[in-house]
């Protein structure tokens, strides 16, 4: 058995996101088609150690301030795993933070999810109570699942995704953190929708894009009211004539553009970086 494990924590993208209700405890019911990025990810490394050590590196490490470390979801995942399994062996946890913080692409949730997976692998001891995952965060169950899926409930009810056509994606983060709580606070209860029917497969990219065009992100309007930078990034993508669809993911502030081929996607990234070098831009395909 290895004493060290490294696992990628891929970005989670909500291709559409509808809010279908609200519980008495404040959690919202969601309906979303979720995919995971192949080429945009954080990296979590866990190894046995003599003392507990938590290190953060990567381009977005400076955004995770020292005062926030005790609240980092990776550490909370470790605490939860220990409480559930009784395993107390010291570990060195290293988080390579490549994804924007507060970007609506599940970075923190994905980090926590793969931390649990890594601990399960390292100690050959699975989490006994999987329902604990949702207590770490609403996106943790879907990130632990790590597969393209239809996400419902409060994020904890998952179904297999339909067969999807191949496409490419440009992720753009306009250097703006958007707090999920603030976005949901601005959401009008009158805007809530019913769960939609999703066909089992799409014949081609055009059919898939038409489906997505009919199903948007209910959180986009309140998020844009908080962060005009989201609108700026979306406008930039909309101007690209070969961009098939431009949309915000999750509660923002990351937006994405869909493209039919890799070269068009790379060209769009180059255009973003040329005109807005302060924005984060990353091309990716999706995991299948």
Residue 104 annotated as part of some ligand binding site: yes
CA neighbor of 269 nearest in space, from 167, 171, 168, 166: 171
Would you call 12 a catalytic residue per the annotation?
A: yes
List residues bridging with 21 in a β-sheet. 29
Would you call 139 a catalytic residue per the annotation?
A: yes
d(CA 110, CA 144): 7
The answer to whether residues 221 and 18 touch, using CB atoms and an 8 Å cutoff, is: no
Residue 101 annotated as part of some ligand binding site: yes
- H helices within 4-85, ranges in order? 73-85
Residue 118 annotated as part of some ligand binding site: no
Residue 102 annotated as part of some ligand binding site: yes
Catalytic one of 8, 12, 97, 176: 12
- H helices within 53-106, ranges in order? 73-85
Counting every residue, how long is the chain? 288
d(CA 162, CA 196): 13
d(CA 137, CA 236): 32
Which tokens sit at 93?
Answer: 């946890």
d(CA 140, CA 104): 13
The answer to whether residues 265 and 32 touch, using CB atoms and an 8 Å cutoff, is: no
Residue 109 annotated as part of some ligand binding site: yes
Residue 146 annotated as part of some ligand binding site: no
d(CA 115, CA 47): 11
Residue 34 annotated as part of some ligand binding site: no
Interstrand relation of 53-57 and 91-96 (parallel, antiparallel or unpaired)? parallel
Catalytic one of 139, 156, 218, 240: 139
d(CA 172, CA 278): 11
Q: How many CA atoms lie within 13 A of 150 on its CB side?
A: 15
DSSP annotation of 104 reads S
DSSP annotation of 166 reads -
State the catalytic residues: 12, 139
- Annotated binding-site members for ATP: 100-110
- Annotated binding-site members: 100-110
């Amino acid at each position: 058995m290895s004493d060290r494990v490294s696992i990628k924590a891929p970005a989670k993208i909500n291709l559409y996101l509808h809010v279908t209700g609200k519980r008495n405890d404040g959690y919202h019911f969601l309906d979303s088609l979720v995919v995971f990025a192949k080429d945009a990810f954080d990296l979590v490394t866990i190894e046995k150690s003599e003392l507990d050590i938590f290190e953060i590196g990567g381009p977005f490490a400076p955004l995770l301030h020292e005062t926030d470390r005790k609240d980092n979801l990776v550490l909370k995942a470790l605490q939860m795993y220990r409480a559930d399994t009784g395993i107390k062996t010291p570990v060195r946890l290293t988080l390579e933070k490549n994804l924007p913080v507060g970007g609506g692409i599940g970075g923190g949730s994905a980090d926590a999810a793969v931390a649990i997976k890594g601990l399960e692998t390292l100690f050959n001891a699975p989490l006994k109570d999987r329902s604990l995952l949702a207590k770490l965060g609403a996106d943790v169950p879907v990130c632990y699942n790590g597969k393209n899926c239809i996400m419902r409930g409060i994020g904890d009810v998952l179904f297999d995704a339909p067969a999807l056509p191949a496409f490419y994606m440009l992720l753009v983060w306009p250097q703006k953190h958007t707090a999920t709580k603030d976005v949901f606070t601005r959401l009008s209860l009158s805007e809530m929708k019913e769960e939609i029917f999703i066909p089992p497969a799409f014949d081609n990219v055009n059919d898939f894009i038409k489906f997505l065009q009919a199903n948007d992100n209910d959180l986009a309007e309140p998020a844009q009211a908080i962060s005009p930078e989201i609108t700026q990034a979306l406008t930039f993508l909309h101007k690209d004539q070969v961009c098939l669809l431009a949309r915000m993911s999750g509660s923002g502030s990351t937006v994405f553009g869909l493209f039919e081929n890799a070269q068009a996607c790379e060209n769009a990234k180059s255009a973003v970086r040329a005109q807005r070098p302060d924005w984060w831009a990353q091309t990716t395909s999706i995991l299948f």
